[in-house]
Structure 1
């Protein structure tokens, strides 16, 4: 089905499992560590500057946020992990919330989008998230953000390191992306629309 990502609206923020949305619409779950530019990637996809909150300090997404796309699907913004300077109890709350989302909502997730930083080797937390997506059985797209920060000669080795660390096969999808410049946006949008058709 066609999907207009420019028609996006915030619907709900879930701080606990009882607030999860289950209405049968496809869900694209976006995950990534706190300083990876997840909100910026989302904002680039929907053509808005401030749909998803972009904080000066990482870790501002503390709930699971649902954005309705074209009345046909949800873009689900999961809490960032691994970097934010917050209390241990708050980090544990995020982890429990995420874990419950993956356990209960596995059949609702149409596609998982894991956002990593192209400049760095994926972290242990990235590997955990990657594993969670794999366990749900849903298709996963790995988005290597911050492409604009690398020289052209650095891109291929950086992508190879990500493939190696996450043990991606030729069937897995890895998109070099720049939330800043828009590189990779069209390919990611096309894949999400295709996932809805499937």
Structure 2
């Protein structure tokens, strides 16, 4: 039976090595094609360790972490994430950023993706003061050579969760694709949902 556990702040430190391995494994797949490293992951995850209002929702099968979903106030994110919202006139204090969800393939299709969204949105409600929840997704060409024939975009799933793609809100992030030694820029488009009226 899969159990969900939310960890925040200093609690995150003890799961960073396992989280890093999970993220590297899952993000190797299309569309992210991420050539990850433990060093980069440790540095990236430090953001969540340093932010007392962050949350990482863990999916555990026994003692093993098989999935994880992260979130934090957008004010505590990197400039590349904040800038599009500043330029569009959003009050950053009202925006909660749902960073990423990773789940091993054999555990997909069991409703955990929905639970990840619910848990992170619940955390935002507990913190209070957030009007919007948002995340961004990478844009890859439809004819990308590494796109699997059976690839199904998550757009439909996100729409069912109440999120809308905002073509006017986008940024670029850099990471090395599979086989690359240097990072290259990727366009990321934001999806947005109002979580409090």
Q: TM-score, normalised by structure 1?
A: 0.36
Q: TM-score, normalised by structure 2?
A: 0.36
Query: By percentage of residues, which structure has more strand?
Result: 2
